[in-house]
Chains A and B, each alone.
Chain A
């Protein structure tokens, strides 16, 4: 019985694989005389109204790829957490407290750094930068606080929630395009005027989600690496 079910499932998978592959015209020029570069540049300017064509390629034309990259980051963070969970701490990572100058400086710089990170990922479709870069900047802000304050706590629950919600936003935006009768991650929102903050359809929303996700993941990684001791106790 089990073997029959497996065979039927395999047949279904094989049928759809053959069906999909038979529709692809291998070896033909599917860009009607243009090359891929011109196609991307033309489409990102005229069909998506995104002034930063790198962003439109990363998030829209190759958005599926980016979803995979975000998943790789998530897996790396999880794996690091699980490896460090089992490792025994050889003495303390922090030898002495940071001085008052460092602490007050970190306190002063923390908010501007978060603001810069948010600026970078919100303007990802207008200027160089984007979700990955902005998220990393946010994580450096948290690293500064972790280095300055010995007892600075980041809630793992909140980090997991932010990460999961951001990932869910990304995937559900892609699925919404599929539900509305387009392809996965295809744009379905109004595209606005070029060089506006509210332009580019789903691209800014996806990049904001990526920014939150990367920031939360890297903060979690840094927090785990600095606070191995805490895991040993629990």
Chain B
């Protein structure tokens, strides 16, 4: 039983580390704030959660504590990234529009409409 739990935990930890690595790569590689936030948050939410659950499975004494941590990450990480993205949008940081100028016009239209409201 313990062996199975340990292997399961190790698999989860490996998945978590892969996602965290991809998140870091995304933050390095993506062109603008919004894309970076997307890569960073999604990857760290899943990566951190599966990593902590994996640790909880390897050490069964810590399982409930790790579950509390996972709930905390599930609540706080999306909210904080939402707040960051919203403040970036509100302070008029332009998204990345290379090669798609018609989308840039649509974006400007939406911003103007929001300002008039």
Chain A residues within CB distance 8 Å of chain B: 95-96, 98-99, 101-102, 105-106, 108-109, 112
Separation of A99 and B84 alpha carbons in the complex (Å)? 11
Which residues in A have their C-beta under 8 angstroms from that of B86? 99, 102
Cβ contact within 8 Å between B79 and A101:
yes
A15–B40 Cα gap in the complex (Å)? Answer: 66
C-alpha spacing A98/B82, complex, angstroms: 10
Q: A95-B90, A108-B75, A109-B72 are in contact. List 4 more A-B contacts (CB 8 A).
A: A98-B83, A102-B82, A102-B86, A109-B76
Considering the complex, give the chain B residue whose CB is closest to the CB of A102. Answer: B83
A–B complex contacts, Cβ < 8 Å, 13 sampled: A95-B90, A98-B83, A99-B82, A99-B83, A99-B86, A101-B82, A102-B79, A102-B83, A105-B75, A105-B76, A105-B79, A106-B79, A109-B75
Using known A-B contacts A95-B90, A96-B90, A99-B86, determine if residue A112 contacts B72 with beta carbons closer than 8 Å.
Answer: yes
CA distance A227 to B109 in the complex (A): 35
Contact with A along B76-100 (1 / 0, CB 8 A): 1001001100100011000000000
The 10 A-B pairs of least Cβ separation, nearest first, read A105-B79, A102-B83, A101-B82, A96-B90, A99-B86, A102-B79, A109-B75, A101-B79, A105-B75, A109-B76
- Smallest CB–CB gap between B36 and chain A, Å? 20
What is the CB-to-nearest-CB distance from A74 to chain B, in angstroms, rounded to a whole number? 30
With both chains docked as a complex, state the minimum distance between the C-beta of B84 and any C-beta of chain A, in angstroms. 10
A106's nearest neighbour on chain B, judged by CB, is B79
Chain B residues with CB under 8 A of A95: 90-91
- Write the chain A residue with the least CB distance to B68: A112
In the complex, chain B residues whose CB is within 8 Å of the CB of A105: 75-76, 79
Measured CA separation A168–B97 after assembly (Å): 61
Chain A residues with CB under 8 Å of B91's CB are 95
* A106 surroundings in chain B (CB, below 8 A): 79
Q: Closest B residue to A105 by CB, please name it.
A: B79
A102 to B79, CA, bound (A): 6
- CB contacts (< 8 Å) of A109 on chain B: these are 72, 75-76
In the assembled complex, the CB of A59 is this many whole angstroms from the nearest CB of chain B, namely 26
Q: Please give me the residue from chain B that is nearest to A116 by CB atom.
A: B72
Kindly state the separation between the CA atoms of A109 and B91 in the bound complex, as whole angstroms.
26
| CB closest chain-A residue, reference B71 | A112
Which of chain B's residues have a CB closer than 8 A to the CB of A112?
Answer: 72
Query: Which residue of chain B is the closest to A144 with respect to CB atoms?
Result: B76
In the bound complex, CA of A106 to CA of B82 (Å): 13
Q: How far is the CB of B16 from chain A (nearest CB, A)?
A: 23
